[in-house]
Amino acid sequence: MARRYKDWLAQARRDIKAAGDSLEAGNYEWSAFQSQQGAEKALKALLRFHNFEMVGHTLTHLLRKVEDFIEVPQEYQSMARELDRHYIQPRYPNSFAEGHPGEFYDESTARRCVEYGRRFIQFVEKHIS
């Protein structure tokens, strides 16, 4: 299991690259979702590196497990909560009372999500190397 952590981290990096590409293309809802995905896969890489495998997609829960063996700065909890809000809403029109997700996302939100996703990857890289 631990040896697959590199695959998870590689995909996390690709997800964050895609988030940046979506940001630049103006697909802000997808950028937010891809940022959440990158952070999730990065945390799963870290957990696998330490021989843990977790099912689920909630960053706040993944971080709780990471805290069993690594001190996690409080700011990551806030970033995780923000990114967790972008797991379902950017993908489905019925996430909102009316309209489609693209109407509810803007450049500022997407840019913040990409930054948070990148910070999660940096955090994981620091604790894997």
Where along the chain do its domains lie? 2-128
Q: Is 113 left (phi over 0), alpha (psi -120 to 50) or beta?
A: alpha
Per residue in 35-48, pLDDT (tens digit) is: 999 999 999 999 99
2-128: CATH superfamily: Nucleotidyltransferases  domain 2 (1.20.120.330)
Q: pTM of this prediction?
A: 0.94
CA 100/CA 77 separation, integer angstroms: 28
Per residue in 9-22, pLDDT (tens digit) is: 999 999 999 999 99
